[in-house]
Structures are given as C-alpha cells and as structure tokens.
Chains A and B, each alone.
Chain A
Amino acid sequence: DAKTTQPNSMESNEEEPVHLPCNHSTISGTDYIHWYRQLPSQGPEYVIHGLTSNVNNRMASLAIAEDRKSSTLILHRATLRDAAVYYCIPDNAGGTSYGKLTFGQGTILTVHP
C-alpha cells in the first residue's frame, strides 16, 4: 500500500478557501487518489477522487501534481459543516485489492466562525 503523509491538523475561517495537502510519493501508476472525510460520530464520506487530471465536483476540487506524488484537496469556501477529519487514500480501484481502503490518521480540519 502506498504511504501517505498529511498534516495532523489545520484551521480555517468560515467562508475562506482551505487547501489540504497530501504526499503520496510511493503511489503506483494505477492507484486512484481518493479523499474521504469523517464528521464527528459519523462514517467516512466520499469527497472526491482522481487519477491524473485535476477534478472538480460540488463538494471540492482535487489538484494532482504532475508527478502524482502529492495532491491537494481544495474546499473553496469552508463552512462549519466542513469541520471533519480528512483522509487522502490511494486506491488501486482497478486492481485486486479493490475496496481495501487504508485509512491513515488524516488531517483534523477546524473551521472557525
């Protein structure tokens, strides 16, 4: 499994953009980069995923470095509801270990009003 490194915690103010970084220097060429978040007392929630190109959806944007060794999750305008633990997870979705997500400690995002 590819190893990931994320900051333990980050803080933001409401309505400001947040950039959550992740290093995954040992990622394989077929691993997708998934981001999940876990709100307090809830199950993980899918945020976004990508392979090589930058991706946008209604929740966030994902910027993937050209060498794929790092990525950044971008929340364009943080809300109080975005306070959660954010996990960056390489996933070999097309390989034999599909669905075996390896969660790290993630980044605890605190959003201030």
Chain B
Amino acid sequence: EPEVTQTPSHQVTQMGQEVILRCVPISNHLYFYWYRQILGQKVEFLVSFYNNEISEKSEIFDDQFSVERPDGSNFTLKIRSTKLEDSAMYFCASSRTPLYGYTFGSGTRLTVV
C-alpha cells in the first residue's frame, strides 16, 4: 500500500537553528499537509498546500515556518529559528482529494535543546 515517507525520523537541533523536515507524499496525491503533536497533546493542523501554494494555515504557522514543494515529489517544512516549544512530532499528510481521506506519515520527532 502506498505510504507517505518522512525523514528524518528523529532530529535534534539547537535552539535558534534552522531545520528542514522532509516528506515524500504519495505520488498521485495533490493535497499536502503538515500537522504537529506536542508530547501528550492533541494533533494540531499547521498548513495545507495545493496547486503550489498554501491553501490555509493555522495561527501556529507564523513567519518562522515555511513550506515548499521543490521538485514535484518532496514536500518540506522549514523552521527558520527553532524554539524550545517547537519540540514535537511533525506529521506530513497527503490526499488525492479530501473526499477520500488523508494518508499520514509516521512523523519526525523534533527535539530542540
């Protein structure tokens, strides 16, 4: 069964550093998303991306965050200057069309020290 692949599975970074989280969505999917889950808390929507532009973003997705689909296969989330509170599991998801549900990756655990 097709999968959404995320790399790395775990990233440790120093506060203030830039990180890029990578995702390879399912190949025929057109809609792409990032979510995050702080340990012990709910899964939270960050951003949706369609037709090479952001469709919607949450309040969490401030100027420190950006997304890109640089080459038609990868979908990346960049955090420019990480803070301690950015420590969380980050999940990428994709969908052929939202009517058919969303496939999530297994996540990247980001630890900011």
Contact = CB atoms under 8 A, between A and B. Distances in A.
A99 B45 CA distance: 9
Contacts of A97: 56
A36 to B, nearest CB: 8
Nearest to B104: A43
The size bracket of the interface on B is: 20 to 34
A21 interface: no
24 contacts: A38-B43, A42-B106, A43-B4, A43-B89, A43-B93, A44-B91, A46-B102, A49-B101, A94-B99, A96-B56, A97-B56, A98-B48, A98-B55, A99-B31, A99-B45, A99-B93, A99-B102, A100-B45, A100-B48, A100-B56, A102-B45, A103-B43, A103-B44, A104-B42
Q: Please name the 7 residue pairs, one residue from A and one from B, whose CB atoms are nearest each other, closest first.
A: A43-B104, A93-B98, A98-B98, A103-B43, A46-B101, A99-B48, A43-B91
Interface of A: 32, 34, 38, 42-46, 49, 87, 91, 93-94, 96-105
Interface of B: 4, 31, 33, 35, 42-45, 48, 55-56, 58, 89, 91, 93, 95, 97-99, 101-107
